[in-house]
């Protein structure tokens, strides 16, 4: 960086962090300063930003099946009944499967 101006390489290195709003305000200012004077980098940034937005639009949310909550409710009730039948207020050990006790 010379006289507070980033090079193209330094700017592109900050591309993801800038687009994801993960740069500090000072760093973001430096990027903006470069983009104002470099048409090529500005085009690249605009492209990558629109690409992420477009991918997000295409990955639109698909509704959960209508009966999913009911299925979960049934399995939770079964887990509770199982725990009660074993005289344990906690759910059965089998519920935790391979990672016993951890999330």
Partner 1 sequence: MPDSPRAAQFETLLAPILGSAYGVALRLTGNRDDAQDLVQDAALRAFAAFETFEPQTHFKAWFLRVLVNCHLNRARSASRRPQTVALDDGEDALLFEAARREGLMARGVDPADALLARFDADLVAVALSDLPNDFRVVATLFLLEEMSYEEIALIVECPVGTVRSRLHRGRKLLQKALWELARERGLVGKP
List of residues contacting partner 1 (CB under 8 A) = 12, 16-17, 20-22, 43-44, 46-52, 54-56, 58-65, 68-69, 71-73, 75-77, 79-80, 90-91, 95-99, 101-103
> Which C-beta is closer to partner 1: that of 3 or that of 62?
62
Q: Measured between alpha carbons, how far is 42 from 24 in angstroms, rounded to an integer?
A: 19
Instruction: Name the minimum Å distance from CB 50 to partner 1.
Output: 4
Instruction: Name the minimum Å distance from CB 99 to partner 1.
Output: 6
Q: To 10 degrees, what angle do helices 25-37 and 39-58 make?
A: 120
> Which C-beta is closer to partner 1: that of 1 or that of 81?
81
Instruction: Name the minimum Å distance from CB 3 to partner 1.
Output: 26
Contacts 24+ apart (CB under 8 A), 33-37: 33/4, 33/5, 33/6, 34/5, 34/6, 34/7, 34/8, 34/10, 35/11, 37/5
């Amino acid at each position: 960086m010379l006289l507070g101006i980033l090079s193209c390489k330094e700017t592109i290195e900050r591309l993801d962090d800038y687009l994801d709003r993960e740069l500090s305000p000072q760093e973001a200012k430096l990027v903006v300063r470069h983009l104002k004077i470099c048409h090529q980098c500005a085009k690249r940034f605009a492209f990558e930003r629109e690409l992420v937005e477009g991918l997000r639009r295409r990955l639109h949310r698909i509704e959960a099946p209508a009966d999913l909550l009911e299925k979960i409710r049934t399995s939770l009730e079964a887990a509770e009944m199982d725990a009660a039948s074993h005289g344990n207020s906690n759910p059965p050990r089998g519920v935790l499967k391979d990672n016993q006790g951890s999330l």
